[in-house]
């Protein structure tokens, strides 16, 4: 048994083996992207032909929604269309009525996000709306206060127990660092930064909502991140949703 444990340890430390596994995984992802690119055009044409109200989801992951053109950089199944949201979107101007993205924008660099929002503005119809859900930077920074609310304490304990159970001191410090560094996060937004970014990319009538809430029935009840992480109240605490409208006529 000791020999087997030693072999496992050496295997995990082997640069050749670890590199080979990573290369294999990257190869699988590349195959999915190539296949997705080949099959993308007919899927897009089919969606646009069949749907009068045209709605685009960016960063679908496993959350496929009926009536939406579900897209992702790495399609999880045949109902998800390959699309790199940081590049020029493969659509003409003024195509979509709605664009939605949940817990995706924080995973790309800020300038890539700006480019994505410019493209969203381009492909949305005049009067079309965008909705983005993302973690709130201010929620995290507010955790670093001497006096904490019951909600803050509950959130800290929940995150630490779930993701960093070995931490038993200065929990909020570890949590804040984890929020910036984990899960591939690249840039975290507060509400003001998000509002200003949307305005600078052309959007107006900027409104904030709790996840799941909206004045527009087509944008209501969309968020599912809370269900995925096992705590809807957690998502309501840490995230906000923001909507912006394309001017009519476009400026």
Give the span between the Cα atoms of 27 and 125, in whole angstroms: 37
Cβ-Cβ contacts under 8 Å for 138 (sequence gap 6 or more): 190, 191
Mind listing the pLDDT tens digit for each residue in 117-152? 999 999 999 999 999 999 999 999 999 999 999 999
Phi, psi at 75, each rounded to 5°: -60, 135
End-to-end Cα spacing for the chain:
71
Q: Please confirm whether the linkage preceding 200 is cis (ω < 30° from 0).
A: no
Closest CA to 87 of 115, 61, 109: 115
The better pLDDT of the pair 49, 251 is held by: 49
- Measure Cα distances from 71 to 1, 60, 90, 104, 208 in Å: 47, 6, 12, 12, 24
Q: What is the mean pLDDT of residues 225-236?
A: 82
> For residue 165, is pLDDT > 60?
yes
Mind listing the pLDDT tens digit for each residue in 12-33? 565 655 455 454 554 555 566 6
Give the span between the Cα atoms of 130 and 241, in whole angstroms: 10
Mind listing the pLDDT tens digit for each residue in 210-227? 999 999 999 999 999 878
What DSSP character marks residue 189?
B
pTM over 0.75: yes
What was the pLDDT predicted at 21?
46
Q: Which residues of 113-138 are buried (b: 16+ CB within 10 A; e: fewer)?
A: bebbbebbbbbbbeebbbbbbbbbbe
SS3 at position 163:
helix
Structure tokens at 204: 């107006």
Q: Domain 51-136+189-245 falls in which CATH fold?
A: Rossmann fold (3.40.50)
Give the span between the Cα atoms of 100 and 67, in whole angstroms: 12
Closest CA to 100 of 131, 67, 62: 131
Give the span between the Cα atoms of 151 and 135, in whole angstroms: 16
Structure tokens at 117: 């929002």
């Amino acid at each position: 048994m000791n020999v087997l444990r030693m072999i496992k340890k050496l295997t995990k430390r082997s640069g050749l083996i670890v590199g080979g596994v990573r290369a294999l995984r990257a190869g699988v992802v590349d195959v999915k992207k190539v296949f997705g690119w080949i099959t993308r055009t007919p899927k897009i044409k089919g969606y646009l032909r069949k749907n009068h109200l045209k709605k685009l989801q960016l960063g679908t992951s496993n959350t496929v929604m009926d009536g939406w053109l579900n897209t992702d950089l790495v399609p999880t199944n045949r109902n998800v269309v390959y699309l790199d949201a940081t590049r020029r979107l493969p659509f003409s101007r003024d195509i979509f009525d709605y664009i939605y993205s949940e817990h995706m924008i924080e995973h790309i660099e800020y300038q890539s996000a700006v480019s994505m929002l410019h493209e969203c503005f381009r492909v949305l119809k005049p009067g079309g709306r965008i909705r983005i859900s993302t973690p709130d930077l201010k929620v995290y920074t507010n955790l670093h206060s001497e006096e904490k609310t019951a909600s803050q304490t509950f959130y800290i304990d929940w995150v630490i127990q779930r993701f960093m159970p070995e931490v038993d001191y200065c929990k909020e410090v570890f949590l804040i660092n984890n929020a910036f560094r984990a899960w591939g996060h690249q840039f975290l937004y507060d509400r003001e930064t998000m509002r200003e970014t949307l305005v600078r990319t052309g959007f107006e009538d900027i409104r904030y909502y709790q996840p799941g809430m909206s004045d527009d029935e087509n944008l209501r009840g969309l968020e599912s991140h809370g269900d995925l992480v096992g705590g809807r109240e957690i998502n309501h605490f840490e995230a906000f949703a923001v909507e912006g409208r394309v001017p009519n006529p476009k400026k």
